[in-house]
Amino acid sequence: MNRSMQPSRIALGFIEAGLTIAGIVAAITPLALWASWSETVFYTVLSAGCAAFLVFIGLARVRGFVMGETVPPTDVLGLKGVRQRLENWDKLQEQDHEVGRKQRSIKGDVGREFGFMMRVAVGLILAAAVVFIGVWAMFEFYYGA
């Protein structure tokens, strides 16, 4: 292993851990805001959530620098690269016939899985209805008028 690559791997590991933690904090912030019980707690959670978003954006930029990813200064959002990858993907999809077969297979699998889930859902609803009607009938029999 190249010794010069170790510090960047360690730095990348710390950056990835920071991104994970900031992402979790940002994802939990709306629930914590909803559950806050005082104005002070609300503003504290809100500021922590905003800080997590800013830390996430900053660490993502630092990760780009560590990985050597560069975006031309004229393409601020990286849209040119995204458009080019989209065009390349579309060309690949049109040219490769195996992809079409896989897509049809996936669509068939989705249909079977959806049908199975619907049968399970209907079965659970019917089972719950039978239990509730049974409990209602029992209460009506023992305690009814």
User: What is the tens place of the pLDDT at every residue in 20-49?
Assistant: 999 999 999 998 888 888 899 999 999 999
Hey, what are 88's tokens?
A: 């390349």
| pLDDT beyond 70 at 1 | no
CB 25 within 8 A of CB 52: yes
Indicate left, alpha or beta for 68 from its phi (over 0: left) and psi (-120 to 50: alpha): left
pLDDT of residue 73: 63
The pTM score is: 0.47
**Mean pLDDT confidence for 71-76:** 62
pLDDT of residue 13: 85
* DSSP helix, strand, coil percent of the chain (3-state; round to 5): 85, 0, 15
Instruction: Find tokens 């959670």 and name the residue.
Output: 45
Q: Give CA–CA dist 67/89, Å, rounded.
A: 24
As a whole number, the mean pLDDT across the chain is: 82
> What backbone phi and psi angles, to 5 degrees, belong to 77?
-95, -5
- Which of the given ranges, 56-60, 96-100, 108-112, 121-125, has the highest pLDDT on average? 121-125
The domain spans of the chain are 1-70, 83-145
CB 51 within 8 A of CB 91: no
